[in-house]
Chain A
Amino acid sequence: MNSHAATFQHHHAAHCESGVISNLLRHHGVPVTESLAFGLSGGLAFAYLPFIKINGLPLIAYRSLPRAIIKGLLAPLATRFRFETFRSPQAGAKRLDDLLAQGQIVGLQTSVYWLPYFPPDMRFHFNAHNLLVYGKEGDEYLISDPVFEHPQRCASADLQRARFAKGALAPKGLLYYPKAIPQKNITPEAVRVAIRKNCRAMLPPVPIAGVRGMRWLAKHVDKLPAGEKHSADFIGQIVRMQEEIGTGGAGFRFIYAAFLQEAAQLAERPVLAQFSERLIAIGDGWRAMALKAARMIKGREPVNPSTIAALLRQQADQEEAFFKELQAAVK
């Protein structure tokens, strides 16, 4: 085991990408929490992508695209990262082993399905999972998967398969590690820029993203026939994308609320603490919708798509008002 592995500290996080990047930066001496990493990169988003299907159901993202959280952090922290993808799995395996031998802690994009340490019910073909490898012992990699409470181990053949899984968002063996981290403190200006950026992402001019994406999804949900199995599956998909390991959509509202609380101090703007409180209330609204949907799926009340659509619109209205006011507050 190399020296880095011995000093590396695993921290539990709510989301894979913000968890990976904050753990990696913390390892290199930058004091960023997961919420700070998430907020600074402008990670909060919403996108309804009906043309990307996972098991026949549309992708609904509550966060920015894979890699966007990592890339979004580069400017505020003036860091540089190296991203590498591979044509052949052999080359990808060799590069990972070489980097580990050099003492690097390496970030990877992988499939969830082919990671054996995931609980069986969580193993779906989702290809944009992130984890850190911090060492190798024999044939096993030492893995810091931030959505797990404790570090994991994974046999090399399994990790290899997970890194080179195919299909939507195929990772192509993507690995990444920091090249240079010249600056270790966060400026008030960087915080303000990040909040402005995120407000724009939530109030975009395109109909598939942000609050307009929520309304577009609501429109589709409204059209689902009541009482059909597919309708229940579709509603379940919205909630799964919202709550499940590694995606945690409503959870993102709480992470962003945590960020706004930190930002109130970092950016010396106490008003942000009030926005943090408000966002917690909005997050609770998402949780109430998830509960309603779960009751329908469980058959405790009839499957009524228009009820869910109405709740979605209500969330969209609240978030629209919230981000407009937040935008004005950081002008």
Chain B
Amino acid sequence: MDLDNVPQEGNATLGGHRKAVYARDASGRIVIAPSKGWEAEEIVTSNAVDTLQALAEAARQRVQAGAASPLEYWMCARRMDVPLLSQTSGYWQWRVKRHLRPDIFATLTDKHLQRYADALGLTVAEIRKLP
């Protein structure tokens, strides 16, 4: 890539930051140039973020319909899935899955919930309900 081709398309997912890119200058030397990002990268990152946000939104609706516990919403909102929440909270995956059921979730004590709260960076009061 030549210095003139270093993308400056203003990738919104970079949040205004610039990233360092290596490119060839007029004399053929490869140097670091700050880039505002390019569209291709913005598209794939937004796609990944959108997929995660759609999961959280679907979870929110299931919670509202009484089909899932608020834990499912928070798991998705924190961009986690069952294997990762299991690893972070220390509960087996089958227990995490059980806790995604509203009736089982309702029986959990504060002590149980605290482990999820720590894993998700929230308080116990927060994970009991939707935001």
A residues with CB within 8 A of B: 12-14, 19, 34-35, 53, 55-56, 113-114, 118-125, 146-149, 161, 165-167, 170, 229, 232-233, 236-237, 239-240, 243-245, 248, 251, 254-255, 257-258, 261, 276, 280, 283-284, 287, 290-291, 293-294, 297-298
Closest residue of chain A to B119, judged by CB? A166
Inter-chain CA distance A283–B22, complex, in Å, is: 11
Task: List the 4 closest pairs (A to B, CB-CB), nearest first.
Answer: A119-B15, A121-B13, A294-B40, A254-B22
Inter-chain CA distance A237–B52, complex, in Å, is: 13
Contact, CB under 8 Å: B88 / A165: yes
**Interface class of chain A by DSSP:** helix
Q: B45 on the interface (CB 8 Å rule)?
A: yes
17 cross-chain CB contacts under 8 A: A56-B81, A122-B14, A125-B80, A149-B17, A149-B20, A165-B88, A166-B84, A166-B119, A167-B84, A167-B87, A236-B44, A237-B48, A240-B45, A244-B45, A254-B22, A258-B22, A283-B1
Q: B62 on the interface (CB 8 Å rule)?
A: no
Contact, CB under 8 Å: A244 / B15: no
Inter-chain CA distance A34–B22, complex, in Å, is: 11
B residues with CB within 8 A of A: 1, 12-24, 29-32, 34, 39-41, 43-49, 51-52, 78-81, 83-84, 87-88, 119, 121
Closest residue of chain B to A118, judged by CB? B15
Inter-chain CA distance A13–B47, complex, in Å, is: 26
CB-CB < 8 A to B30: which residues of A? Answer: 35, 254, 257-258, 261, 276, 280
Contact for B81 among A55, A146, A170, A276, CB less than 8 A = A55
Inter-chain CA distance A56–B83, complex, in Å, is: 9
Given A261-B29, A291-B40; A119-B17 close (CB under 8 Å): yes
CB-CB < 8 A to A170: which residues of B? Answer: 87
Closest residue of chain B to A281, judged by CB? B1
CB-CB < 8 A to B23: which residues of A? Answer: 254
Given A148-B17, A255-B22; A14-B32 close (CB under 8 Å): yes
A75 to chain B, nearest CB (A): 25
